[in-house]
Amino acid sequence: MKKIFFFILFFSCGPNSELGNTDFTQHVDSNNLRIFGKEDVSLEFLNKVAQSYGAMFQDNQKIDASMRSKYLSISKNENVYQRVGLEESHEKNERYTDGFPPRPYRHNVTDYIWEMNVGGKDQIGEVIEHLLHTVTTVILNLSYPNDWGYMNSSSRLFLAMQEAVDKGVYDISSYEEMKGDMEAYRKVITQEYAYWLILAEWDYYIIAGKKEVGISGNEEFTLGTPSDIENNLPLGHQLYLDYVEKILSVPDKNLITSLFE
């Protein structure tokens, strides 16, 4: 199978440039995902985010070339993007997240990745979590809406999430206050479920700092290993096998750790 490489491109501009009034002044590209950074984000960190996403696209025997190609084409053709900001700036300015990147990048996005003051497990968790949110809630949703649509209570994603809730594995009680906006509520509970599921299937809870003492997972999602998922959540495990495993590879833990140590 042909190996897919990622490349990085950087640009910067002033407030009177063709980008208009925006402080997304730089970007990198990785596997047809454009990653925009606010002007105070370090280029080094932006490149590390791109490398982390690129690490999810190594070849192995489980990859389905046609499914990966579809995923990459959708990401490019639908102008999917990832936003990156500086956590310290966001804490000081509630309007920090206002504004858009240049057109045509507008609606196919979810969440920010925050560049933190310290590296280590917290930074790894921050990067991997929000990249996976983009993978599942945006790109897989656009690519396979019948199975990954979060507003469809019959989608495989929604049914797998409900399986985890019904078995007491996934605690969604902290999101109750969002029920006034049902679209936002369903988006968040399925987005977080998919993240926890993939993190466990990748056996990433420890290096992402998400494992709690005494259990393989944590208070919100109690199962944190591949065998846990396979043995207890058959719908979730099969969803992972049928889509995620055929499109993405498990990013090398040594590489990810070295990027953010």
Q: Indicate whether 17 belongs to any domain.
A: no
Task: Give the C-alpha separation, 43 to 144, whole Å.
Answer: 33
DSSP 43-100: HHHHHHHHHHHHGGG---TT--HHHHHHHHHHHHHTT-EEEEEEHHHHHH-TTTT-S-
Q: What is the residue range of 74's domain?
A: 24-260
Q: Which residue has the higher pLDDT, 12 or 179?
A: 179
Task: Collapse the DSSP code of 221 into the 3-class scheme (helix H, G, I; strand E, B; otherwise coil) and give the result.
Answer: strand
Residue 10 token pair: 């950087």
- With bands split at pLDDT 50, 70 and 90, how would you rate the model's confidence at 23? confident
Q: Indicate whether 9 belongs to any domain.
A: no
Task: Give the C-alpha separation, 243 to 119, whole Å.
Answer: 31
Task: Give the C-alpha separation, 239 to 216, whole Å.
Answer: 21
Indicate the average pLDDT of the chain. 92
Q: Indicate whether 18 belongs to any domain.
A: no
- With bands split at pLDDT 50, 70 and 90, how would you rate the model's confidence at 210? very high
Q: Is the pLDDT of residue 2 over 60?
A: no
Q: Indicate whether 6 belongs to any domain.
A: no
- With bands split at pLDDT 50, 70 and 90, how would you rate the model's confidence at 94? confident
Q: Indicate whether 240 belongs to any domain.
A: yes
Q: Is the pLDDT of residue 222 over 90?
A: yes
Q: Indicate whether 152 belongs to any domain.
A: yes
- With bands split at pLDDT 50, 70 and 90, how would you rate the model's confidence at 104? very high
pLDDT at 12: 40
Q: What is the CA radius of gyration of the chain?
A: 18
Q: Which residue has the higher pLDDT, 7 or 91?
A: 91
Q: What is the mean pLDDT of residues 13-19?
A: 36
Q: Is the pLDDT of residue 7 over 50?
A: no
Q: Is the pLDDT of residue 14 over 50?
A: no
Task: Give the C-alpha separation, 28 to 241, whole Å.
Answer: 30
How close are the terminal C-alpha atoms of the chain, in Å?
32
pLDDT in tens, 25-79: 999 999 999 999 999 999 999 999 999 999 999 999 999 999 999 999 999 999 9
pLDDT at 10: 43
Task: Give the C-alpha separation, 237 to 239, whole Å.
Answer: 5
pLDDT at 58: 97
Q: What percent of the chain has pLDDT over 90?
A: 87
Q: Indicate whether 131 belongs to any domain.
A: yes
**Is the pTM here over 0.75, yes or no?**
yes
pLDDT in tens, 123-174: 999 999 999 999 999 999 999 999 999 999 999 999 999 999 999 999 999 9
Residue 125 token pair: 């968790």
Question: Going by C-beta distance under 8 Å and a sequence separation of 6 or more, which residues neighbour residue 228?
Answer: 200, 216, 217
Task: Collapse the DSSP code of 25 into the 3-class scheme (helix H, G, I; strand E, B; otherwise coil) and give the result.
Answer: strand
User: Number of structural domains, the chain?
Assistant: 1
CB 151 within 8 A of CB 160: no
Q: What is the mean pLDDT of residues 175-191?
A: 96
Task: Give the C-alpha separation, 223 to 238, whole Å.
Answer: 16
The two beta strands, 33-38 and 81-86, are parallel
**What residue type is 94 in one-letter code?**
E
Q: Indicate whether 19 belongs to any domain.
A: no
Question: Going by C-beta distance under 8 Å and a sequence separation of 6 or more, which residues neighbour residue 158?
Answer: 149, 150, 152, 186, 190
pLDDT in tens, 223-237: 999 999 999 999 999
